[in-house]
Structure 1
Amino acid sequence: MILKDHLRKEGKVSKEDYPITIVGDIHGQYYDLLKLLEVGGDPGKTQFLFLGDYVDRGSFSIEVLLLLYALKINYPDRIWLIRGNHECRQMTAFFNFRDECEYKYDIVVYYAFMESFDTIPLSAVINGKFLGVHGGLSPDLILLNQISSFTRFQEPPRSGIFCDILWSDPIDEDKEEHAIHNEAYFPNDIRGCSYFFGYNAATTFLEKNGLLSIIRAHEAQLEGYKIHQTNIKTGFPVVITIFSAPNYCDVYNNKGAVLKFDNNTLNIQQFSFSPHPYHLPNFMNLFTCLLNRGLD
C-alpha cells in the first residue's frame, strides 16, 4: 500500500535532477542488480532512474522487485521507476514471472505485483533535457504532456501512445534506407506491434518539446549501450539505449551498463555478470526433471 501510494502520486511524467544513474533492463537478474548498485552509487546519495523490464527471463524477478520496491519506499525522492513492456499480465504469463510467483509463493502474490505494475509511471524527464522511456516514441505523441491525457492504471493496450512508449524501437537509417522509407515511423514487424521510429521522428519530437535526447532501454546491446545517430543541430545523440542485464539469459555474453549524469557530464559505466544460483528451467523440480530425462 505504501509503495502504490508513492507511485500513484508521481504522475506519468516525473522530473529528476543530477546526479542520477540511469538503468536499463534487469530481467530478473538479481545478482547483477546487486553489482549494478555497487557501480551506480549509494542510493542514499545518488538518484537512480530504472527504465523498466524488471521481470521475466531471469530466475530472480521477485527478488529484484522486492529490492527495488524496498529502495523506493526508503528513498522515495531518490529511486524512480518507470514501466517496461514486461510489467504487465500478458507478458508475465507468457514468460516465466507468473510461474516464479506460483513456485516461490502463490498466485495471490502474483496478482499483488500486477496491481503494483499498474501504478508505475511511464516516463521521466531528467533535468529538463532528457526523456526517459522504456521503448521509444509514438506517431501519436507530438507533445510530452499528451502522456498525461490517458490513465496508466491499467494493463497496457495493444496500440496507441501507451503501447508505443513501451514497445517501439529506434532505427538508424543510412541515406539509402531513408530514401526507401522516407517516413518518420513504420511498422515494427520484428516485435509484431508498435513502430520503428527514425532520425526525423526523434529530432522533430525533441525540438517541439525542448529536449536534447531520448534515453531508453528495451534492446539487448553487446556493450551494454548504444549511441544512436547524432543530431546535426546539437551534436548530441538523438537516442541512447542502455541495457543493464550482463550475459543476458546466461547466453548472450554481453556487458551490462549504466548511464551516469553529474554536473552536466554523461558517463557510461560497464560491468560484467555475477555468478548466481542455478534454477532448473521453468522452475521445474528435480524429480520431474529426472523423470522427463528418463522418458526421452
Structure 2
Amino acid sequence: MSKDLNSSRIKIIKPNDSYIKVDRKKDLTKYELENGKVISTKDRPIASVPAITGKIPSDEEVFDSKTGLPNHSFLREHFFHEGRLSKEQAIKILNMSTVALSKEPNLLKLKAPITICGDIHGQYYDLLKLFEVGGDPAEIDYLFLGDYVDRGAFSFECLIYLYSLKLNNLGRFWMLRGNHECKHLTSYFTFKNEMLHKYDMEVYDACCRSFNVLPLAALMNGQYFCVHGGISPELKSVEDVNKINRFREIPSRGLMCDLLWADPVENYDDARDGSEFDQSEDEFVPNSLRGCSFAFTFKASCKFLKANGLLSIIRAHEAQDAGYRMY
C-alpha cells in the first residue's frame, strides 16, 4: 500500500463485523409486506399467470412425424409459455425456412383476398392477437411486410413461429424482408443480444442467413404494390425488383435499400393531386429522418403508379396509432 495514501479514509471490513452479518436464522421462504401480510416467496404472486416452462421439447414434439415440418400448433403454445428450443431444433427450422424462401422470386405475385400485416418487432403476444383477430393462417392468406425482429423481447419466437407457419402454408403465407432483417441493425438494436442470451452466435448467424433470402416486394392482383419501405428513383417498373441480387446484406444505397428504407415525405398529405407540385419540385428528397435512402413525394407516387398501371402502394415501416393510415 502506498505510504502517501491517507489511511484515515480507508475502512477495513472484517467478516465478523455486525453490519455485514447475514441472519442465517431468517426464513427466506416468507416475506412480510408493508401492510403486515406475510406471503410465501415460493408461490407465484399471481397464480392465474401461467408458469414459464423450463423444458426443452423433444424432436417428436417440435416436428410433425408425417411431414417433418415444424409443428406450428405446438410451437405456438410452447412459446406462449416462454419455452425455448434446443440449438439443433432452432437451426433446423431456420435452415428449412432459408431453403424454402430462397426459391421464391424477389417480387411475389399474389391474389386477393389476403390479409396484410406490418411490423411485428418481437411482440409475440401481439402477434398471437393479430391471428386471433385476422383469422387462422390455415384458412386465410397472409402477407407480412417485414420487421419481425428487434425492440421486443420475443423476436426469436416471432420469427420461428412465422417461419413454421410459412413452411406449413407455402401457397398462402408470405413474408417480405424489412430493414431490420439484417446484421447491421440487429447488432445495433436488440435481436443479436437476445440471441446470445437465449442461444449463441451460430443460431444468430442462421437467422441472418434466412434474412438474406426473404423476398423484397409483392404485387397483389396486379394493382397493389406491397413493400416494407417505399419506392425509389431507380424503380421505374415493378419488374425492376426482380433484377436485384437480394441474397446479401442490405446495401447502404440503391434500389434494394430504398425498397426497405424509404418513407413518404412529411407533408405528403398536403397534396390532393399532382397539380400542387410545379415541374421543378424534386420527386425524391434525402431521408434525413433515417439517415439513408429517400423520402418520396405524392408526385413520385402518382408517377410510379401511372407508369405501372397500379392503384396503390401498401407499406409498413412506420407505427400508426390507429393501426393503419390512408395517405
* In 1: Cα distance, 2:324 partner to 2:106 partner: 25
Residue 51 (structure 1) aligns with: 145
CA–CA separation in structure 2 for the residues paired with 1:209 and 1:186: 22
Residue 309 of structure 2 aligns with an amino acid whose one-letter code is G
1:210-221 mapped onto 2 (5 Å cutoff) = 210-221=309-320
**1:23-82: CA deviation from partner (whole Å, max 9, x where unpaired):** 000000000000001111111111000000000000000000010000000111111000
Residue 65 in 1 paired to residue 159 in 2? yes
CA distances 1:229-261 after superposition (whole Å, capped 9, x unpaired): xxxxxxxxxxxxxxxxxxxxxxxxxxxxxxxxx
Deviation at 1:16, TM superposition (A): 1.3
Identity, % of aligned positions: 51
1:247 corresponding residue in structure 2: none
Unaligned runs of 5+ in 2: 1-94
* Amino acid of the structure 2 residue aligned with 1:220: A
Q: Secondary structure at the match of 2:322?
A: coil
Which of 11, 16, 26 matches 2:110? 16
Q: Under a length normalisation based on structure 1, what TM-score does the superposition of the two structures give?
A: 0.74
Any idea what SS the aligned residue of 1:226 has? coil
Normalized per residue, which structure has more strand? 1
- Give the letter aligned to residue 214 of structure 1: I
The separation in 2 between residues aligned to 1:218 and 1:54, in whole angstroms, is 11
Residue equivalent to 2:284? 185
Q: 2:261 aligns with which of 167, 189, 204?
A: 167
- Please tell me the residue identity of whatever aligns with 2:318: E
Match of 2:134 in 1: 40
Task: Give the whole-Å Cα distance in 2 for the aligned partners of 1:180 and 1:25.
Answer: 35
What is the one-letter code of the residue matched to 2:217?
S
Greater gyration radius = 2
Query: Residue 193 of structure 2 corresponds to which residue in structure 1?
Result: 99
1-structure distance, mates of 2:117, 2:199: 28
Q: 1:194 aligns with which of 293, 299, 306?
A: 293
* 1:15–1:130 Cα change, 3 Å: same
Contact 2:120–2:148 (8 Å) recurs in 1 = yes
Structure 2 counterparts to residues 69-218 of structure 1, below 5 A = 69-171=163-265, 172=268, 174=270, 178=277, 182-218=281-317
Supply the distance in 2 between the matched residues of 1:17 and 1:186 (Cα, whole angstroms): 33
SS of corresponding position for 2:115: strand
Q: Which amino acid in structure 1 is aligned with residue 154 of structure 2?
A: F
CA distance in 2, matches of 1:181, 1:188: 19
Shift of 1:180: 11
Instruction: Say which is worse superposed, 170-179 or 59-68, in terms of deviation.
Output: 170-179
SS at match of 2:202: helix
After TM superposition, the runs of 4+ consecutive aligned structure 1 residues lying more than 4 A away are 175-181
Supply the AA of the counterpart residue of 1:194: S
Runs of 5+ unmatched residues, structure 1:
229-296
Q: Offset at 1:211? A: 1.1
What secondary structure does 1:63 align onto? helix
Contact 2:277–2:299 (CA under 8 A) maintained in structure 1:
no
CA gap of 1:179–1:60, structure 2 versus 1, over 3 A, is same
User: Are the equivalent residues in 2 in contact too, given 1:173–1:198 (CA < 8 A)?
Assistant: no
Deviation, structure 1 residue 15: 1.2
